[in-house]
């Protein structure tokens, strides 16, 4: 059974499995709580047993189980019904469930493989001029050249990012006026890089590599682990910078993604 709930507390979310998915869910709660219609939480239950939590934030869905709990075939079936009813653009869930869920929703969703990386520092912060407090309008102008969903939702992206920055969840960085990266969340001493982009005229000049390496070294020196996700075919690109693969997973993305923007 999947039911919407506003009875969410930090203590309950702390019982989720330690993962990127639970940190995403917690970041939504820390940023917005339960009073906004674009940020909703749902309990996955079996009778009175709480099995997991779903967050539905704008057009993205994330699900995770509580520590020691597993989702049954019936739970996955109910999740597929939930996906078909709510029609999120993207769905994220642990790999051990993702393929099972995909088989039930593949008429409307495609899967793409990605790899989670963690930066391995060498304790040498590069001597480059990185702006640690850029104007979000300037960051947007860079990111929108690479991310269609950001391009079509400027006000939403700026509002959400500034909201997260004020709560200590997020931070943007820029190198010149051509490359930018944004930390999506900082939770459990893990800084997750969500968006990296370089404007078309400056691509191929290694700006993104320089910025990512600087972020990795700087945040490691500040006591944070730096992680990011990338498509599986980009493994060599990130390992050359200093990132090492730590996990594999898949993301489900609606087949008519571009049509919904």
Q: Pick left, alpha or beta for residue 123 (phi over 0 → left; psi -120 to 50 → alpha; otherwise beta).
A: left
pLDDT tens readout for residues 65-98: 999 999 999 999 999 999 999 999 999 999 999 9
The pair of structure tokens assigned to 166 is 């004020």
Which pLDDT score is estimated for 258? 55
Alpha-carbon distance of 207 to 176, in angstroms, equals: 9
Which pLDDT score is estimated for 148? 85
Alpha-carbon distance of 34 to 13, in angstroms, equals: 13
Residues 6+ apart with CB under 8 A from 159: none
Alpha-carbon distance of 6 to 14, in angstroms, equals: 16
Confidence of residue 257 (pLDDT cuts 50, 70, 90): low
Alpha-carbon distance of 83 to 111, in angstroms, equals: 14
DSSP per residue over 228-255, as a string?
A: EEEEGGGHHHHHHHTEEEEEEEEEEEET
Residues 6+ apart with CB under 8 A from 47: 1
User: What does pTM read for this prediction?
Assistant: 0.93
pLDDT tens readout for residues 195-211: 999 999 999 999 999 99
Which pLDDT score is estimated for 103? 97
Domain boundaries, the chain: 2-107, 117-253
Greatest CA span in the chain, whole angstroms? Answer: 58
Phi and psi at 153, nearest 5°, equal: -135, 50
Specify the pairing of strand 60-65 against strand 90-92: parallel
Residue with the bigger pLDDT between 256 and 14: it is 14
- Asked whether residue 231 carries a pLDDT value surpassing 90, the answer given is no
Which pLDDT score is estimated for 207? 96
Mean pLDDT on 227-252? 92
Confidence of residue 33 (pLDDT cuts 50, 70, 90): very high
Same fold, 2-107 and 117-253: yes
- Asked whether residue 149 carries a pLDDT value surpassing 90, the answer given is no
Q: Pick left, alpha or beta for residue 112 (phi over 0 → left; psi -120 to 50 → alpha; otherwise beta).
A: beta
Is CATH 3.40.630.30 the classification given to domain 117-253? yes
Confidence of residue 194 (pLDDT cuts 50, 70, 90): confident
2-107: CATH class: alpha beta
Mean pLDDT on 15-30? 96
Give the three-class secondary structure for 177.
Answer: coil
Which pLDDT score is estimated for 249? 92
The pair of structure tokens assigned to 56 is 């539905």
């Amino acid at each position: 059974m999947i039911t919407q709930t506003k009875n969410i507390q930090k203590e309950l979310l702390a019982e989720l499995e330690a993962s990127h998915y639970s940190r995403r869910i917690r970041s939504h709660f820390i940023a917005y709580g339960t009073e906004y219609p674009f940020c909703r939480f749902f309990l996955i239950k079996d009778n009175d047993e709480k099995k997991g939590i779903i967050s539905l934030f704008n057009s993205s869905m994330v699900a995770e189980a509580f520590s020691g709990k597993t989702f049954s075939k019936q739970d996955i079936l109910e999740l597929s019904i939930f996906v078909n009813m709510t029609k999120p653009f993207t769905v994220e869930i642990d790999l051990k469930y993702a393929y099972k869920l995909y088989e039930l929703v593949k008429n409307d969703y495609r899967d793409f493989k990605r790899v989670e990386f963690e930066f391995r520092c060498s304790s040498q912060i590069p001597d480059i001029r990185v702006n640690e407090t850029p104007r979000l309008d300037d960051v947007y102008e860079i990111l929108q050249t690479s991310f269609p969903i950001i391009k079509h939702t400027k006000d939403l992206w700026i509002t959400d990012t500034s909201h997260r920055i004020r709560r200590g969840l997020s931070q943007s960085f820029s190198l010149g006026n051509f490359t930018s990266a944004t930390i999506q969340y900082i939770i459990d001493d893990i800084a997750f890089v969500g968006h990296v982009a370089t404007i078309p005229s400056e691509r191929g000049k290694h700006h993104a590599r320089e910025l990512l390496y600087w972020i990795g070294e700087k945040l490691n020196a500040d006591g944070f682990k730096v992680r990011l996700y990338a498509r599986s075919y980009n493994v060599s690109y990130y390992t050359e910078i200093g990132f090492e693969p730590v996990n594999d997973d898949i993301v489900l993305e609606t087949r008519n993604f571009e049509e919904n923007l």
